[in-house]
Chains A and B, each alone.
With several copies, the nearest count.
Chain A
Amino acid sequence: MAVLAALPEALAAAVRDGDSVALEGFTHLIPHAAAHELIRQGRKDLTLIRMTPDVIYDQLIGAGCAAKLVFSWGGNPGVGSLHRLRDAVEHGWPRELDIEEHSHAGMVNRYVAGASGLPFAVLRGYVGTDLVDVTDSIAPIDCPFTGERLTAVSALNPDAAVIHAQRADRDGNVQLWGIVGAQKEAVLAATRSVVTVEEIVDELEPVPGAILLPHWVVDWVCEVPGGASPSYAAGYTERDNDFYREWDAVSRDRETFLAWIHSNVMTEAR
């Protein structure tokens, strides 16, 4: 049952050290403000889950919040590598980072299984790739009708899902539209959920292409205007592509990165 709350309180209640957390979003509606709050709260040993870890996961990893990353594509879209992710994987800085790696099709089906109350999902995927050898949550499965061999992936049920959406009403019904990614599945698969929104409104006007997360499957709703920036919220904010380009330089160097976190995250007005 959704509770309207301030972001620090909601995240303190929803995300604890050692939790598995999915801050989902496919380029659109990335929950930057929530990720920064997790860094400020000094969360440790998180298992970070996401199809497309980008700048906020680079920041969480570089800030030492993560023990493990479960993902399918980790990059700065259209720009290049995530240098903090690379530094963690290649050199163990600031700490070793475990990797559980899938394809997008596999990751999204893991969320679907989690949202559906199933322990696994079936897909045509991975066959002939080396992912099968390095990832334990992939296994062959045979069709009981045709005998055909397919691939199973285990369900994802994060301890917490954190997403950003355009708006919610005062009951906590959440509405989002545009590229909707795997956000619904992540929230439905998770034990706890926090949704930051651009605004809280009296009435949710229907919007073409919008999906709704009913108040009774959401735990906390926090009004955080601009909470996706430098990502965007269709209808509210524009993507700051320059920020993503500039992040490449900021993140290449450990000291520059730490200074950036200090100035832009740790001292950000709460």
Chain B
Amino acid sequence: MSDLGDVNGGPSAEDMMTVAASRALEGRRTCFVGIGLPSLAANLARATCAPGIVLIYESGTIGSKPERPPLSIGDGSLAETADTVVSSAEIFNYWLQPGRIDVGFLGAAQLDRYANLNTTVIGDYRRPKVRLPGAGGAPEIAASCKETIVVVRHTPRIFVDRLDFTTSVGHGDGPGARERLGLRGAGPVRVITDLGVLEPDPGTRELVLTSVHPGARPEDAVARTGWPLCVSPALAVTEPPSAAELDALRALTS
């Protein structure tokens, strides 16, 4: 695992992932937020590069401004700090489905080369090895947001050649897949991990490693990927977290 300096109290790989994810929200107006790391990253963005961003949680809170990322997406702080709270029916039908939200943040237990996601089962559906929580809002976030960003750890268990179950569609089976399926959002534009950043190739729609975080090596990413991962010839190194970013992150998590 790459490590930017946990021992010295510097940023960890996890911190780098969160910061990189937060930066992906710069210039976005609205974000549909899942729980866990996406919520931390979204609130970090609100404290740094995207102060006016409107955070929308699937519990029905629109414009939540929690002081700390909540444990659950139904926390009281999300409702109390929201511009408005709507019913579950309304959040999915009026707000998510029509495609009015700029970006959706998703996690996954498995992800394939087209950034299709599995959050349902590992193994056989009817008698699974691991029963995961399931779909939640993800299939429609993946379908309807103008763009989605996936935040996952880069491990061979997650980066698989073939999903055990397709819960949420990324770029399907490649070029033209989303259009054929009638999905109106553009799909995943970025996958952010603890090692770097992957983006779909404009032609093949297959994920390409386009950036590595400081201290991580592209070989690490290739080794931890269950398919032959393409590395961009123009591979960049992620800008390390700034002092301001780290301070804001500490303030959110302390």
Taking CB atoms, residues of chain A closer than 8 Å to B84 are: 209, 211-212, 214
Question: Which of A3-11, A108-116, A249-257, A262-270 forms part of the interface with chain B?
Answer: A108-116
- The reply to whether B167 and A216 contact each other, CB–CB distance below 8 Å, is no
- The reply to whether A77 and B35 contact each other, CB–CB distance below 8 Å, is yes
- The reply to whether B75 and A109 contact each other, CB–CB distance below 8 Å, is no
- The reply to whether A90 and B129 contact each other, CB–CB distance below 8 Å, is yes
At the interface, is chain A mostly helix, strand, loop or mixed?
loop
Proximity bits, A73-105, B CB within 8 Å = 1, else 0: 111011101100110011000000000011111
Taking CB atoms, residues of chain A closer than 8 Å to B1 are: none
Taking CB atoms, residues of chain A closer than 8 Å to B94 are: 115-116, 184-185, 188
Task: Provide 29 A-B residue pairs closer than 8 Å at the C-beta atoms, listed in order of the A residue.
Answer: A27-B73, A75-B134, A77-B73, A77-B74, A78-B70, A79-B71, A90-B129, A103-B137, A104-B140, A105-B92, A105-B96, A105-B97, A117-B97, A124-B97, A124-B144, A127-B169, A127-B182, A128-B166, A130-B167, A131-B167, A178-B79, A179-B59, A179-B74, A179-B78, A180-B88, A181-B88, A185-B94, A214-B54, A238-B76
Of residues 132 through 152 on chain A, the ones whose CB sits less than 8 Å from some CB of chain B are: 134, 148-149
- The reply to whether B30 and A123 contact each other, CB–CB distance below 8 Å, is no
Taking CB atoms, residues of chain B closer than 8 Å to A179 are: 59-61, 74, 78-79, 85
Interface size for A (C-beta < 8 A) is 66
- The reply to whether A27 and B97 contact each other, CB–CB distance below 8 Å, is no
A220 close to chain B: CB less than 8 A: no
- The reply to whether A234 and B72 contact each other, CB–CB distance below 8 Å, is no
Proximity bits, B125-152, A CB within 8 Å = 1, else 0: 1011111111111111001100000000
- The reply to whether B73 and A148 contact each other, CB–CB distance below 8 Å, is no
A1→B27 CA distance, assembly (Å):
13
Which of A72, A111, A117 touches B134 (beta carbons < 8 Å)? A72
- The reply to whether B97 and A182 contact each other, CB–CB distance below 8 Å, is no
B162 close to chain A: CB less than 8 A: no
A71 close to chain B: CB less than 8 A: yes
Q: How far apart are A188's CB and chain B's nearest CB, in angstroms?
A: 6
- The reply to whether A126 and B139 contact each other, CB–CB distance below 8 Å, is yes
What is the size category of the interface that chain B forms with chain A? 35 or more
Which of B61, B73, B143 touches A125 (beta carbons < 8 Å)? B143
A180-B167 CB under 8 A given contacts A102-B135, A126-B139, A238-B76: no
A74→B136 CA distance, assembly (Å):
8
A28 close to chain B: CB less than 8 A: yes
A256→B78 CA distance, assembly (Å):
33
Q: How far apart are A246's CB and chain B's nearest CB, in angstroms?
A: 13
* Nearest chain B residue, comparing its CB with the CB of A97: B131
- The reply to whether A239 and B131 contact each other, CB–CB distance below 8 Å, is no
- The reply to whether B89 and A111 contact each other, CB–CB distance below 8 Å, is yes
B99 close to chain A: CB less than 8 A: yes
Taking CB atoms, residues of chain A closer than 8 Å to B183 are: 127-128
* Nearest chain B residue, comparing its CB with the CB of A83: B131
- The reply to whether B59 and A27 contact each other, CB–CB distance below 8 Å, is yes
Which of B62, B98, B128, B167 touches A129 (beta carbons < 8 Å)? B167
A260 close to chain B: CB less than 8 A: no
